[in-house]
Amino acid sequence: MAGVVMATRLRLPLTVLYSNVGKPLPALEVGYRMMKRLSLRSFSDAHPYKLISVDPNEINKVSNPAKEWWSIPGEVVGGDWDRQSVSIEDEIVFKTISNHIKRGEPLAVDAYREYYHKHMGTWAQQGWGETFQERCEQISSLISRIEEHGFRTQRELFETTDSVDLKRQNNDSIHPLLNEIRVDIDRDGGFHFWRCGSHRLAIAQALELPTIPVLVGTRHDQWQHLRDRYHSAIQSGEDLQPFNELCNHPDLLEFHDQSNEIRAPVAAPLVKNAPTDPSM
């Protein structure tokens, strides 16, 4: 828990700094490439900061929370970490928002109040966050904005909103523009929610939005191996019949152009091609 508090305290000033000083995303990319070369860990060929479009209801599990502290975006990890995920339906945030949108139940239920005080109450007392009532009002406003304007990326928000509160709240990631919903991809290509934007994801699911933009955190090594085989088959002109069920997987669409013709991937722009809302 101490590590969580320290990391959050560091992210808050860094977030404000990064959102006001230049455009540090290229520096983050350079840092990632250096880490990839020097690290003994395995990394995917996929760009770590590229957004992909996913059906929100295909994200039906939550990755083991303990994974957050050793995982690096773009990392490839084997083992049974994907077997340790839990059903998203069992998570308080998703239950509360689903019941609110679909059944008209209030947000301020005891279970969500307990969740809030456990995860955010201390920050509110120190003046860093909002009260529980303010939190519920923010969620209601967020639901209305997504219903009215659709699901927007952080880049779109910062381009259209000049708000100190947006920068202050946008603190779940090392950089505000990377505060998008993060998912992991398991051995079978399934999506697990990792971090950032649990409220946004819950709203998107309850509103039954067709797709939302997400960033990929960890890929299981079995999935990465399959991704590599698919890419290799495309480059060598092999028969793609064995991969028919994979052609439309969101993590593989970078190998196709807009006319659905298969192509070799090109370098992805840094979080620029996106079609959310702040840190919730």
Domain boundaries, the chain: 2-255
Q: Tokens for 91, please give them.
A: 């998570």
| DSSP-assigned letter for residue 260 | S
Q: For position 1, what pLDDT does the model report?
A: 38
H and E: helices and strands count for the chain: 10, 8
Burial (0-12, 13-18, 19+ Cβ within 10 Å), 156: middle
DSSP lists the bridge partners of residue 42 as: 76
Q: For position 56, what pLDDT does the model report?
A: 97
C-alpha gyration radius of the chain: 19
Report yes or no on whether pTM surpasses 0.85: no
Q: For position 7, what pLDDT does the model report?
A: 41
Q: For residues 255 and 131, is the Cβ–Cβ distance under 8 A?
A: no
Stretches where the chain sits below pLDDT 70 are 1-28, 31, 40, 65-71, 121-129, 160-176, 257-279
Q: Tokens for 216, please give them.
A: 């990929």
Separation of alpha carbons 214 and 229, rounded Å: 24
| DSSP-assigned letter for residue 269 | P
DSSP string covering 118-158, please?
HHTHHHHHTTSS--HHHHHHHHHHHHHHHHHH----HHHHH
Q: For position 161, what pLDDT does the model report?
A: 62
Residues 76-106: tens digit of each pLDDT: 999 999 999 999 988 999 999 999 999 999 9
DSSP lists the bridge partners of residue 76 as: 42, 219
Separation of alpha carbons 36 and 85, rounded Å: 26
Separation of alpha carbons 80 and 82, rounded Å: 5
